């Protein structure tokens, strides 16, 4: 079997194996019960049949060969998928942005927080994972169950550049039709929100800190994340 890390052996210790990932066997029903028990919106989740129909529509025409998946956030260090190859990649059409409004997981109705997505922009560095054709069915089921558990993203095929040639990759882009996508929030306001927001999953700052630390460990540069992290840290008193 070919080593998935052959291009970037330094990534081997930075990416969690699929079998160790919480997201590998995610129990959506258990999460739903937790949401209801804590007074959350009973209609928060995407129905399983709609999510599966979307997955099959997205994959149509892409099942004759291996596929690539672009990772720009937690998928980079915790993909939860079994992959045959990983490469560093650049997505020229997109940029990271904290554009997903969160008033439950990392925020509250009184002090909402922000989560990460990608939107149209001047470029975004990340990783691409190659999923072998015979694994596409199950691995994309795992992927969509995680990324499309609720509204917020549009699965999108886009060309990416890598040091080993261009690839067409599937990525999850901010869905401007979704109520929780709020593009254009000024950077100072993003920092203010993230500095104080806290929800069921913990503080919004802890989420930003995790993103910032993992990008650094993976040697992925993102001046926007670095700037936002510095602003939030200053607001929190260092």
Catalytic residues: 147
Q: How far, in Å, are 30, 83, 139, 204 from residue 101 at the CA level?
A: 23, 31, 28, 11
Q: Please report how the helices 187-196 and 204-217 are oriented relative to each other, as an axis angle in degrees rounded to 10.
A: 110
| Dihedral sign, Cα of residue 39, residue 42, residue 44, residue 46 | positive
Phi-psi region of 184 (alpha: psi -120 to 50; beta: other; left: phi over 0): left
Record the tokens describing residue 179, joined without a space. 């109520």
Please report, for residues 5, 6, 66, 134, the alpha-carbon distance to residue 12 in angstroms, rounded to integers and kept in the order given.
Answer: 6, 9, 21, 23
What is the C-alpha separation between 118 and 96, in angstroms, rounded?
4
């Amino acid at each position: 079997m070919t080593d998935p890390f052959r291009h970037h052996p330094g990534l081997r210790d930075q990416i969690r194996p699929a079998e160790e990932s919480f997201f590998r066997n995610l129990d959506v029903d258990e999460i739903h019960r937790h949401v209801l028990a804590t007074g959350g919106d009973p209609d928060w989740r995407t129905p399983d049949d709609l999510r599966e129909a979307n997955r099959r529509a997205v994959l149509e025409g892409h099942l004759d060969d291996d596929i690539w998946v672009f990772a720009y956030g937690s998928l980079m260090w915790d993909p939860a998928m079994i992959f045959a190859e990983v490469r560093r990649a650049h997505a020229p059409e997109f940029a990271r942005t904290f554009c997903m409004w969160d008033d439950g997981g990392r925020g509250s109705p009184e002090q909402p927080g922000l989560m990460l997505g990608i939107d149209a922009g001047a470029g975004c560095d990340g990783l691409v994972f190659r999923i072998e054709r015979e694994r596409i069915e199950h691995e994309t089921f795992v992927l969509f169950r995680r990324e499309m558990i609720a509204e917020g993203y549009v699965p999108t095929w886009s060309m990416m550049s890598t040091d080993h040639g261009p690839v067409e990759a599937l990525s999850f882009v901010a869905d401007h039709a979704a109520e929780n996508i709020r593009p254009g929030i000024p950077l100072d306001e993003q920092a203010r929100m993230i500095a104080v927001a806290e929800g069921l999953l913990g503080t919004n700052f802890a989420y930003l800190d995790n993103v910032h630390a993992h990008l650094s460990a993976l040697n992925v540069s993102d001046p926007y994340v670095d700037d936002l992290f510095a602003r939030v840290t200053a607001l929190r008193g260092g």
